[in-house]
Amino acid sequence: MTTPFTALNEFPSVAADTDSGFSFLYRAGSEEQPHLLVYESERDFKSVPRTFIVVAIVALDTDAVELNIDADDIPAEPGVYHWPDSDACDGDDQLHFLLVTPQRNFEALAHKATVTARLYHARDTGDALVSYVCRDPAVSA
């Protein structure tokens, strides 16, 4: 079966052997207060510390976010994807963003999604998200 999704190769690969899934902080979705999504990235070697990727998601015309999506047509492989032919996109929000992890999936309509940080040595995505929010004055202001 072919999938309508295209891999976003500019994002670090998603860990395939973990149960950490993702953590998400729902904010205004603006440039000043983007939504924050954290997932664990794949490690080349087990001696490398666990690495967590923080993604800022900006939505200008929509604010559609869905957690734990379960659809037949999503990719089976963990990764970060875009659905280029999605009918759900609106106005300046032309990125139909999908994160597939071994445990859960995340979907959002956005103007852009960018990696803003890599965090190390957290226990899980929740701890990594809290660490990021607490250390960044612009986020916790």
Q: 3 is written with which tokens?
A: 């999938």
Least Cα distance to 38 among 136, 126, 112 occurs for 126
Coil, strand or helix: which one is 109?
Answer: strand
pLDDT at 44 over 50: yes
The pLDDT value recorded for residue 141 is 41
Average pLDDT over residues 107-123: 93
Q: Are 14 and 85 in contact (CB under 8 A)?
A: no
pTM as predicted: 0.89
pLDDT digits (tens, 9 = 90+) for 46-96: 778 899 999 999 988 877 888 666 677 788 899 999 988 888 887 777 899
Q: Are 40 and 15 in contact (CB under 8 A)?
A: yes
Q: How far apart are CA 62 and CA 30, in angstroms?
A: 11
The β-bridge partners of 98 are 81, 107
Q: 72 is written with which tokens?
A: 């037949």
